[in-house]
Amino acid sequence: MTQFQRILLISGLIATALAAAVGQWAGHEQAHADIEKLELVWPDVLRLPQDDRALLAGLAMSCRLARKPADRKDVIECLREAMDSPEPLLPKGVSRDAASMRLDALLAQAR
């Protein structure tokens, strides 16, 4: 391996590590923003059962909740739009009908 090839390999490894770190940071920032928005509807969202948190997280990612205004009505609308979208992100093994019913129940509890 030539010196140039070594430099390219090391540069590639560094670039890959940086990209992974930036991606992880961005994902963490989005998750934090999603949680802040979900807390407008469910102030105790982090204490909900894991299945409910997984459902809300998937719907929040589906509708890009982090990009929506910090308004309770907009959060609810976003989650409903995600549920009605062609391919919402749902927890593994959860049907669309079951997810829709659970979202309705969670929203009814939030009032």
pLDDT of residue 26: 46
How far the first Cα of the chain sits from its last, in Å, is 66
- Per-position pLDDT tens, the chain of length 111: 787 777 766 666 665 655 555 555 545 567 789 999 999 999 999 999 999 999 999 999 999 999 999 999 999 999 999 999 999 999 999 999 999 999 999 999 997
Place of tokens 């560094």: 14
- Of 82, 37, 92, 42, nearest to 61 by C-alpha is 82
**Rounded distance between C-alpha atoms, residue 39 and residue 88, angstroms:** 21
Q: pTM for this structure?
A: 0.77
